[in-house]
Amino acid sequence: GIQSPLDQPALLNGIQHAEYANEDARFRNTSEPFPNINSLTNTDWFDLVMQNAPMSNADISIAGSNANGDVNYYVSGNYFNQEGIVKTTGIEKYIIRSNIVIKLSDILRSGFRLNFSQFDRDNGVVGYGNIFTLGQIPVRDADGNFTGQDPISGGPFSNPVANALFNVNETQ
């Protein structure tokens, strides 16, 4: 199947946000942070970080016994793969289970069970709040580096695309 992000809320685009910031600056009698609005980008951080993500699940099992029923067996396997709706996230797992029971006498049975599982998780570390803000900041600067400065405050800006690519927490 496919999982999808919920509908994106209506937000100001980059130009609208810059116009709002300029209006706020004029109201406070300070300099406009975006004097040349026409030169700004219109970055849709939500679209750049989120995705429609496939997921799959498969199971198989075999059970049986020998002709006289003295030995019973069961073997099963499961594969699950789910990419996350936030890029660079997801989970993949494998599970195998095996049982065997042997009848030693009318009152005594012996058996063993084997379970194996492998989990691989990609826990992307994306500042989710930043995908809804500052659409006038481009993903990369003129030199091709990821942007990291808020043009209004001059402070640091946590670039969601850079975070999605570089801040990955993988667990197994």
Confidence of residue 53 (pLDDT cuts 50, 70, 90): very high
Confidence (pLDDT) at 156: 83
Pairwise CA distance, residues 111 & 125, whole Å: 45
pLDDT in tens, 14-51: 888 889 889 999 999 998 888 888 888 888 888 888 88
pTM of the model: 0.70
Specify the higher pLDDT residue, 172 or 136.
136
Confidence (pLDDT) at 111: 95
Confidence (pLDDT) at 11: 78
Confidence of residue 52 (pLDDT cuts 50, 70, 90): very high
φ/ψ region of 159 (left if φ > 0, alpha if ψ in -120 to 50, else beta) reads beta
Specify the higher pLDDT residue, 170 or 157.
157
Pairwise CA distance, residues 17 & 24, whole Å: 10
Strands (E), the chain: 2-3, 53-65, 71-83, 90-103, 109-124, 168-171
CB 18 within 8 A of CB 34: yes
* Helix H or strand E segment including 166: helix 160-166
pLDDT in tens, 105-164: 989 999 999 999 999 888 766 666 667 767 778 888 889 998 888 777 778 888 888 887
81-87: average pLDDT? 89
